[in-house]
Amino acid sequence: MRLRNVTGSAGRRQWRTAAAALVAAGVLLSAGCSGDDKSATPTWQGGSAGPGGEGQPSPQPTQSTVSVTSPAANATGVKAIAEIKYETEDPGNTSVEVKDADGNEVKGTLDKDEKVFRPAKALGWGKTYTVTVNGTPSGDKGGSTTSSFTVMKKPSKLVRVSSFLGDGQVVGVGMPMIVRFGRSIPQKYRADVERRMVVTATPAQEGTWHWTSPTEVHYRPKTYWKPYTKIFYKVQLAGVPMGDGWYGRSDLTVDLKTGRSFVMSVDNKTKHMTVTQDGKKVKSIPVSLGKKSTPSWSGTMLIMEKKRHTVFDTMDELPEGEGYRTEIDYAQRITWSGSFVHSAKWSEGVQGRVNVSHGCVNVSEANAKWLFDRTMMGDPVIVKNTEVKLKNGNGWTDWNMSWDDYKKGSAL
């Protein structure tokens, strides 16, 4: 800008006015272009000067009215496996906290869609718990609520729950997970029991539980376990109703794994056993199966028990004159009715050609030892083309039925 040289008081006032305008313009230009002034805070007409500044107020969360719907306030005799149910207008921003009388927080999972808190394990018998449900904080009445309840006293009727397998075991690829109960579980309670038994396999494999009797339930995958699978199962049945005033006594967990795949296939037509390991044939073994009067079972069985030396005694089981008492080496049980894979020196001359056994799979002493040294509980033994079919339940016959039939044994 260029200024005219004027004189007089009027002229001096014009000059001062113009100079002030020039300074103001310079300030505006500096504020609009300079990024060096860290302390400068822009102020918008009619707005806030920033967080905490005056102007338009920040939006506040919406009020959410909450309530505990179950268990009822001050309820007593509540089941130890009770779920905490609540109502809220804003599920996504609602929290639930459960504590015992000592102030210890109860661990669990919160399902905000179903509006339910599920304790990770059964609550303590006879203990009192306080539930706190917090809705969207607003400072207004109704945004938070507390409720207390007391769990039932420890019942006198408790059902023992046990696992056939234990931590650290290594089993064959056909091994089912087996859970047993101290008393029969009525049909209408089995679904709830089954929901609380969770199997996790690594790598993942489809599987299901199957009730073999009112006191025993098995779990197997759709096909044999993959070799070297890590298996973990959690059975959470403490406090679970099991009918007629009975409740589950405890929870349990089992962590184990499978070994290599080792499958023994016996064909009565060829009178030979074919042994495969991890899908590759490793040995062919001559066998002698059950003679016509005592035929061997056809079906898929599993190694259930191994005895380096034992005695077969049928003196009290068979008619007089037919019973026998014989010492046996390298015996491996495959049915409850008494079928074994075992050493039989007396039939070595006809093994691979003629059936002379009482229903067992006879092999030579050398081959029996070879098998005994390599097998583990849960390895499959498949026998085919004999005169009689294996009956389900005569041993661990989990693989003696189709997948569709096996699933029908689930209460779910």
| Residue 58, pLDDT score | 55
**Least confident piece of the model among 23-27, 80-84, 145-149:** 23-27
Q: Are 352 and 286 in contact (CB under 8 A)?
A: yes
Confidence of residue 394 (pLDDT cuts 50, 70, 90): very high
Residue 266 β-bridge partners: 273, 383
**53 — phi, psi (to 5°)?**
-80, 170
Overall average pLDDT of the 278-295 stretch: 97
Q: Identify the band that residue 17 occupies on the pLDDT scale cut at 50, 70 and 90.
A: very low
Residue range 326-330: average pLDDT? 94
At 294 the pLDDT is 94
pLDDT recorded at residue 59: 56
Mean pLDDT over residues 282-298, rounded?
Answer: 97
pLDDT at 22 over 70: no
Specify the pLDDT at position 319.
Answer: 73
Does 342 participate in catalysis according to the annotation?
A: yes
Q: How far is CA 335 from CA 276, 302, 396, in A?
A: 21, 8, 7
155-164, 315-324, 379-388, range with the lowest pLDDT = 315-324
Q: What percent of the chain has pLDDT over 90?
A: 77
pLDDT at residue 312 in the model = 86
Angstrom distance (rounded) from CA 333 to CA 395: 9
d(CA 159, CA 237) in angstroms, rounded, equals: 9
Please tell me whether residue 218 adopts helix, strand or coil conformation: strand
Beta strands per DSSP E along 195-302: 197-202, 207-213, 216-221, 230-236, 247-248, 251-258, 262-267, 272-277, 280-286, 297-302
Q: Which two tokens stand for residue 157?
A: 């009727």
SS3 of residue 327 by DSSP: strand
Torsion on CA atoms 361, 362, 368, 370, rounded to nearest 10: -70
**pLDDT given at position 340:** 98
Confidence of residue 351 (pLDDT cuts 50, 70, 90): very high
CA-to-CA distance for 315 and 325, rounded, in angstroms?
Answer: 7
What does the pLDDT read at residue 65? Answer: 87
* Closest C-alpha to 304, from 374, 256, 369, 376: 376
Report all structural domains of the chain as residue ranges with CATH numbers, in order of start: 66-151 (2.60.40.3780), 158-259 (2.60.40.3710), 262-402 (2.40.440.10)
Quick check: 197 pLDDT over 90? yes
Which of 210, 218, 358, 360 is an active site residue? Answer: 360
Residue 288 CB neighbour total at 10 angstroms: 25
Of the candidates 210, 218, 342, 358, the residue annotated as catalytic is 342
DSSP calls for 253-275: EEEEEE---EEEEEETTTTEEEE
Q: Which positions ≥6 away from 224 have C-beta within 8 Å?
A: 173, 174, 261, 263, 380, 399
pLDDT at 62 (0 to 100): 56
- Confidence check: pLDDT of 299 > 60: yes
- Cα(178)–Cα(167) distance, integer angstroms: 13
The question of whether 210 is a catalytic residue gets the answer no
Which pLDDT tens digit goes with each residue over 211-230?
999 999 999 999 999 999 99
Phi and psi angles of residue 205, each rounded to the nearest 5 degrees, phi first: -145, 140
pLDDT band of 56, cuts 50, 70, 90: low
What's the pLDDT score for residue 6? 39
Tell me the average pLDDT across 3-12.
42
Query: How far apart are the C-alpha atoms of 116 and 84, rounded to whole Å?
Result: 5
Judged against a pLDDT cut of 60, whether residue 35 lies above it is answered with no
Q: What is residue 160's predicted lDDT score, i.e. its pLDDT? A: 98
Sheet with 216-221: strands ordered across: 161-163, 177-181, 216-221, 207-213
Helix (H) or strand (E) holding 191: helix 187-195
Mean predicted lDDT score pLDDT of the chain? 87
Task: Give 86's pLDDT tier (boundaries 50, 70, 90).
Answer: very high
pLDDT at position 106 is: 98
Cis peptide bond prior to 59, omega within 30° of 0: no
260-277 pLDDT, tens digit per residue, is: 999 999 999 999 999 999
Check if the beta carbon of residue 284 is closer than 8 Å to that of residue 273. Answer: yes
Burial class (CB in 10 A: 0-12, 13-18, 19+), 120: exposed
Per-residue pLDDT at 325: 80
Among all chains, which residue has been given the structure tokens 């938070």?
144
- Does the N-terminal peptide bond of residue 71 adopt cis geometry, omega within 30 degrees of 0? yes
Mean predicted confidence (pLDDT) in 125-137: 91
Q: In the prediction, which pLDDT does 324 show? A: 73
Residues 209 and 181 sit within 8 Å (Cβ to Cβ): no
Q: How far is CA 282 from CA 41, 42, 225, 229, 263, in A?
A: 82, 83, 20, 22, 10
Find the mean pLDDT for residues 352-363. 97
Where is average pLDDT lowest: 54-58, 96-100, 371-375, 389-393?
Answer: 54-58
| Cβ neighbour number for residue 274 with a 10 Å cutoff | 16
The arithmetic mean of pLDDT across residues 371-388, rounded, is 98
